[in-house]
Amino acid sequence: GAVVSQHPSWVICKSGTSVKIECRSLDFQATTMFWYRQFPKQSLMLMATSNEGSKATYEQGVEKDKFLINHASLTLSTLTVTSAHPEDSSFYICSAPPSLGANTEAFFGQGTRLTVV
Amino acid sequence: GENVEQHPSTLSVQEGDSAVIKCTYSDSASNYFPWYKQELGKGPQLIIDIRSNVGEKKDQRIAVTLNKTAKHFSLHITETQPEDSAVYFCAASPGGGFKTIFGAGTRLFVKA
């Protein structure tokens, strides 16, 4: 199946700093990628839809100025958590569908565990 | 928007028994229903999926059923093994690269 790679797999940062997470589609082009956040023992909550060459679409309640998304190429989307605080500590996961055809599954990255201290 | 509900939240079975997880969805436009298995510290892995033009699909010990009229779909795992222990998520999507909405997850414990 298609491969989506996420980097880093884990990161620890100090409060107030920014952290960038990368999501790459390794063997296919993805005009759309999705970013999810998962708190411990909870489900994956969609944060935003990343669109290549245009602005991301954020879900209700997600601060677009805090979670900056850039989708500059067909194989890379980045999520930057700006001015991180301990409450931003979570598991962040990206996904990408290999095509925009009907009934298309999305492949998930391995996730990034962010800890803000 | 789409809302997916999943039950039970926790399921404990004896090795060799069957496990059933049920989900409902709200958006009639959804036509793709994947199931994911997530192990601790890892991203979700697709284990089986079903599309709206199919009522049932089976892959070895795993089967999924879909009742589009009732907006219900279920995961069935037969002959469970300890390595089946994980969190399972159902999801719904209108497909076509559109966003996937997840259920709350079911933590499955298979006791040896």
Which residue does chain A place closest to B93, by CA atoms?
A: A103
Distances in Å between the Cα of B5 and the Cα atoms of A25, A32, A112, B75, B89 are: 30, 26, 26, 13, 10
Nearest to A110 among B43, B89, B107 (CB): B43
A:B CB pairs within 8 Å = 66
Report chain B's mean pLDDT, rounded to a whole number.
Answer: 93
Q: What is the pLDDT of residues A3-29, one digit of tens each?
A: 899 999 999 999 999 999 999 999 888
The answer to whether A15 and A86 are in contact (CB under 8 A) is yes
Helix (H, G, I), strand (E, B) or coil at A55: coil
Q: Is A31's Cβ below 8 Å from some Cβ in B?
A: yes
Which residues of A are less than 8 Å from B45 in CB distance? Answer: 108
Q: Do B95 and A104 touch (CB under 8 A)?
A: yes
Q: How confident is the model at residue B98 (pLDDT cuts 50, 70, 90)?
A: confident
Task: Count helices and strands (H / E) in chain A.
Answer: 0, 11
- Count CA atoms closer than 13 A to B68's CA, side-chain side: 13
pLDDT digits (tens, 9 = 90+) for B25-51: 999 989 889 999 999 888 888 899 998
Amino acid (one-letter) located at A88: D
Sign of the alpha-carbon dihedral angle for B31, B28, B63, B99:
positive
Q: Which residues contact A64 (CB under 8 A, 6 or more apart)?
A: A48, A56, A58
> Please, where are the H alpha helices in A5-56?
none
| Neighbour-count burial of A4, counting CB atoms closer than 10 A to its CB (0-12 exposed, 13-18 middle, 19+ buried) | buried
Q: Please tell me which residue, B55 or B94, carries the higher pLDDT value.
A: B55
- pLDDT tens figures, A26-79: 988 888 999 999 998 899 999 999 988 889 999 999 999 999 999 989 999 999
Question: Hey, what amino acid is at B81?
Answer: Q
Cα dihedral sign for A82, B44, A42, B55? positive
